[in-house]
Amino acid sequence: MTAVARPRRPYRFAAMAVVCSWCRARVGELCTNQRGSRDRRRDVHDARRIEWDRVMSTRCPERICQATPNQPCTLTPDIHHARTQAAHTPTTTP
């Protein structure tokens, strides 16, 4: 018997699709306070929002996706790992 992939619900905040560089919250988890003992329920850290904007401003390099900038990847609510890596690759200007 094969397992059927169940569709995931969208994240509470879109920026939850990337790792938070401030509190190290993983993908899909809410940001926490400095001690990691309380979830932030109203928003996510600014660092996480900035990272989300950076990732979404790049084109997804996955052959099966090719999502344009500011468009979600085909595997919503997650984004492809290659897109996250491409956001950190410096580009040269002609």
Distances (CA, A) of 2 to 5, 16: 10, 29
pTM of the model: 0.75
Q: Is residue 53 part of a domain?
A: yes
Q: Is residue 76 part of a domain?
A: yes
Which is more confidently placed, 58 or 93?
A: 58
d(CA 66, CA 50): 22
d(CA 69, CA 29): 24
Give 62-80 pLDDT, tens digit per residue: 888 888 999 888 866 788 8
- Number of structural domains found in the chain: 1
Q: Is residue 94 part of a domain?
A: no
Name the residue range of residue 81's domain.
10-89
d(CA 40, CA 1): 40
- Proportion of the chain above pLDDT 70, given as a percent: 83
Q: Is residue 64 part of a domain?
A: yes
Q: Is residue 1 part of a domain?
A: no
Q: Is residue 52 part of a domain?
A: yes
